[in-house]
Chains A and B, each alone.
Chain A
Amino acid sequence: MQSQELLFIQDLHTFFFTPDGVLKALDGVDLRLARGRTLGLVGESGCGKTVLALSILRLIPSPPGRIVKGRINFEGVDLLRLDERSIRDIRGNKISMIFQEPMTSLNPVFTIGSQIAEAVLLHRRHGASTKKQALDVAVHMLKMVGIASPQARIHDYPHQLSGGMCQRVMIAMALACRPSLMIADEPTTALDVTTQAQILNLMKDLREEIDTSILLVTHDLGVVAQSCHEVAVMYTGNIVESAPVEDIFSSPLHPYTRGLIRAIPRIGALRRGESLQAIPGNVPTLKDIPRGCTFNSRCPEVMDICRREYPPVFRPKADHMVRCWRYVN
């Protein structure tokens, strides 16, 4: 099971330097992703999920943002040490990204065929050196993501497609260069449930077909349960728990993870007399992060030490990591 390691992030700090002070969007993130696996990155808005995704691609807007410290090892290369030219060879080629809003991520004034072909030509993949060859690749990719009559569809503009279709096109574009890592930032949040189910199935099939790893950024634990191997839970710029997906749901350790799982409405639960257990309070903004453990003000099991010191990493099991003082031995 523990196959080759593809991505290894160590002690990553990404800060934003604003007039109001330094915002620590990522504050010491560690993350591992093996080849051919799907890692779910879960957390609520503002916890740093997207900043992490953008940091991997070195797409943090600077200024105000900057990766201050840490390492991002990808296929044995530290991405943070590469110059701009070399990182551009990796972006969209070995690591690609799909975004939440399929409708706004596509350029409205180009046909979808030419947008896919652009990526192929740029990286000279599939031995394509002419536009004609690249368009053939585009047709092939559209077919692969399940778009009917791709030969005709490559001449369509984004506004002619539905949300689900646009997301398929985005996936086709992301996979056109056969990346070893695909980062999907909330790829199904804007879609209907039925379309979501289709897109998730498609991503799963394609992962096997072209042997890519997926970093799936989402806030939906249902999506995680259905499509990930491992899960990392983020809270205020750090990973507070990570484990194989079965363990996260069967024996969640961090009070935040437990709270998240209990807060999901289950069908029929209210009439069975079970009320939803909400996590009290709000997610703290980066401007006023509490001292000690950042979850301490909302935690039902808070202890004295939680108010004083940020918890280090504990490993109750070899593949189960948690940052919570309750697990200090």
Chain B
Amino acid sequence: MNNLLEIRSLKKSFAIKSGVFRKTTGYVSAVDDVNLDVYPNETLGLVGESGCGKTTMAKIILALTNPDAGSVVFDGVDIHAAKGQELKKIRRGIQVIFQDPFGSLNPRKRISSIISEPMIIHKTGSRRQRLERSAELLGMVGLSADMLTRYPHEFSGGQRQRICIARALAVNPRLLICDEPVSALDVSIQAQVINLLVDLQKKLELSYIFISHDLSVIGYLSHRIAVMYRGRIVELADAQDLFDNPLHPYTRCLIAAVPEPVPGLKRKIEQAMPDADEIGASSEGCAYSGFCPIREAVCMQEKPGLVETEDRHYVACHMHALLRGLS
């Protein structure tokens, strides 16, 4: 299979500064040695709790921040080595939708200029063609063309998110990064936007990197899911396989914590849940070792690498042989 996006040993850390002189007192790794591929026409779900590095990953893939080490290759070109026209071409191929549909549309611009802006930047078409294309895009996301002359405040949250999607699609991208695109929406509206994304993927042969903290949304529309914890991918598997047969203790904990809309159905929560402040993990060892119910001495000393335990199922855990026995 040809990869659309290849992420290789990607690293990014941020300095922790404290004191009057903002002296660097330490580093926090937001992305720590991540390897990931995105195939054409697939949805890769990226799940993890707040602060685990999901959004930093997105920013690096969009070339909005540079990584400390590692590479991101889109369609054969290294994103962070590219410059000028080449970079512009990549940017055209990768577009993004953000979480907050209220903050991501300029309130002073009409919908027509919001949607044509990417086309102006990438110099596609004449003024008239851009306008026609904008109308077509609005139709594609389920809004009507007469809304082009309106302003963002006249739309509800779900409609705004549709406008954001139309804008992202304006330059025919091949990869769409969706950073929590539905978590600010109401349940009934959330379903509309999810259905729209699924339809558009079929129609336009798009790939998505779908970032969310909500396992049920991720589980609904992803083909493969990567679970992130403190900057590292701890498990990567086909979506169904991940839920049927979760290997990493953290993945199990996440799945058990999802409140199921079925009264009386209690998933057994096998272990103590991690609380973000109780950092008990050693810096050399596995980041999850502080909470892990099955940790051994080795977990405190060495970071586990991501290994393929079964076909297309990867897990980063020293105890994976034991885990497979358990499930």
Contact A193 B49 (CB under 8 A): yes
Contact A162 B263 (CB under 8 A): no
Q: How far is the CB of B53 from chain A (nearest CB, A)?
A: 14
* Chain B positions 269-294 with a Cβ under 8 Å from a chain A Cβ: 269, 273-278
Whether a CB of chain A sits under 8 angstroms from the CB of B325 is no
Contact A275 B195 (CB under 8 A): yes
Contact B278 A148 (CB under 8 A): yes
Contact A275 B187 (CB under 8 A): no
Give Cα A198–Cα B276 distance, bound, in whole angstroms: 12
Cross-interface CB contact of B221 among A161, A196, A200, A265, cutoff 8 Å: A265
Whether a CB of chain A sits under 8 angstroms from the CB of B4 is no
Given A164-B275, A165-B277, A193-B213, is A277 in contact with B191 using a C-beta cutoff of 8 Å? yes
Whether a CB of chain B sits under 8 angstroms from the CB of A31 is no
Cross-interface CB contact of A44 among B50, B186, B240, B278, cutoff 8 Å: B186
* Chain A positions 252-285 with a Cβ under 8 Å from a chain B Cβ: 259-261, 263-271, 275-280, 282-283
Cross-interface CB contact of A193 among B198, B257, B263, B277, cutoff 8 Å: B257
Give Cα A227–Cα B220 distance, bound, in whole angstroms: 24
Q: How far is the CB of A186 from chain B (nearest CB, A)?
A: 12
Q: A220 — nearest CB in chain B belongs to which residue? A: B259
Cross-interface CB contact of B192 among A161, A222, A246, A278, cutoff 8 Å: A278
Contact B187 A44 (CB under 8 A): yes
Cross-interface CB contact of A225 among B157, B254, B263, cutoff 8 Å: B263
Give Cα A224–Cα B261 distance, bound, in whole angstroms: 8
Of residues B187, B240, B262, which shows the largest number of chain A Cβ atoms within 10 Å of its Cβ?
A: B187
Whether a CB of chain B sits under 8 angstroms from the CB of A249 is yes
Give Cα A224–Cα B263 distance, bound, in whole angstroms: 8
Contact A283 B259 (CB under 8 A): no
Q: How far is the CB of A138 from chain B (nearest CB, A)?
A: 19
Given A225-B261, A267-B243, is A278 in contact with B191 using a C-beta cutoff of 8 Å? yes
Given A263-B187, A264-B216, is A278 in contact with B195 using a C-beta cutoff of 8 Å? yes
Contact A268 B186 (CB under 8 A): no
Q: Which chain B positions have C-beta within 8 A of A268? A: 219-220, 239-240, 243
Give Cα A227–Cα B277 distance, bound, in whole angstroms: 26
* Chain B positions 33-91 with a Cβ under 8 Å from a chain A Cβ: 49-50
Q: Which chain A positions have C-beta within 8 A of B254? A: 193-194
Given A193-B254, A282-B158, is A263 in contact with B188 using a C-beta cutoff of 8 Å? yes
**Number of residues from B at the complex interface, CB < 8 A:** 47
Q: How far is the CB of A264 from chain B (nearest CB, A)?
A: 5
Q: How far is the CB of B243 from chain A (nearest CB, A)?
A: 5
Q: How far is the CB of A277 from chain B (nearest CB, A)?
A: 7
Given A222-B259, A265-B220, A267-B243, is A192 in contact with B49 using a C-beta cutoff of 8 Å? yes
Contact A269 B259 (CB under 8 A): no
Whether a CB of chain B sits under 8 angstroms from the CB of A223 is yes
Give Cα A282–Cα B187 distance, bound, in whole angstroms: 11
Per-position contact with A for B199-239: 1 when CB-CB < 8 Å, else 0? 00000000000000111110111000000000000000001
Given A193-B254, A197-B269, is A249 in contact with B191 using a C-beta cutoff of 8 Å? no
Of residues B188, B243, B258, B273, which shows the largest number of chain A Cβ atoms within 10 Å of its Cβ?
A: B188
Contact A279 B277 (CB under 8 A): no
Q: A265 — nearest CB in chain B belongs to which residue? A: B220
Contact B277 A261 (CB under 8 A): no
Q: Which chain A positions have C-beta within 8 A of B49? A: 192-195
In the complex, the number of residue pairs spanning A and B with C-beta atoms less than 8 Å apart equals 143
Whether a CB of chain B sits under 8 angstroms from the CB of A45 is yes
Give Cα A268–Cα B258 distance, bound, in whole angstroms: 14
Whether a CB of chain A sits under 8 angstroms from the CB of B245 is no
Q: Which chain B positions have C-beta within 8 A of A271? A: 239-240
Contact B261 A222 (CB under 8 A): yes
Q: How far is the CB of A323 from chain B (nearest CB, A)?
A: 18
Contact B240 A196 (CB under 8 A): no
Contact B220 A267 (CB under 8 A): yes
Whether a CB of chain B sits under 8 angstroms from the CB of A219 is yes
Whether a CB of chain B sits under 8 angstroms from the CB of A144 is no
Q: How far is the CB of A255 from chain B (nearest CB, A)?
A: 12
Cross-interface CB contact of A249 among B256, B263, B274, cutoff 8 Å: B263
Q: B240 — nearest CB in chain A belongs to which residue? A: A268
Whether a CB of chain A sits under 8 angstroms from the CB of B194 is yes
Give Cα A294–Cα B254 distance, bound, in whole angstroms: 38
Whether a CB of chain B sits under 8 angstroms from the CB of A221 is yes
Contact A196 B257 (CB under 8 A): yes
Q: Which chain B positions have C-beta within 8 A of A105? A: none
Q: How far is the CB of B65 from chain A (nearest CB, A)?
A: 23
Cross-interface CB contact of B216 among A45, A223, A266, cutoff 8 Å: A266
Given A165-B277, A195-B275, is A264 in contact with B195 using a C-beta cutoff of 8 Å? no
Cross-interface CB contact of B194 among A44, A195, A265, cutoff 8 Å: A265
Given A192-B50, A193-B254, A268-B219, is A221 in contact with B192 using a C-beta cutoff of 8 Å? no
Give Cα A194–Cα B267 distance, bound, in whole angstroms: 13
Contact A265 B216 (CB under 8 A): yes
Whether a CB of chain A sits under 8 angstroms from the CB of B308 is no
Give Cα A149–Cα B269 distance, bound, in whole angstroms: 24
Known: A198-B275, A282-B156. 15 other contacts (CB 8 A): A161-B277, A192-B213, A193-B49, A193-B257, A194-B253, A195-B273, A195-B276, A197-B273, A260-B187, A265-B220, A266-B216, A267-B216, A270-B221, A278-B194, A282-B158
* Nearest 7 CB-CB pairings of A with B: A267-B219, A222-B259, A265-B220, A278-B191, A279-B188, A44-B186, A263-B191
Query: What are 16 A-B residue pairs whose CB atoms fall within 8 Å in the complex?
Result: A44-B187, A164-B276, A193-B49, A193-B258, A198-B273, A200-B259, A219-B186, A219-B187, A225-B260, A226-B259, A260-B188, A267-B219, A267-B243, A270-B220, A276-B195, A278-B191
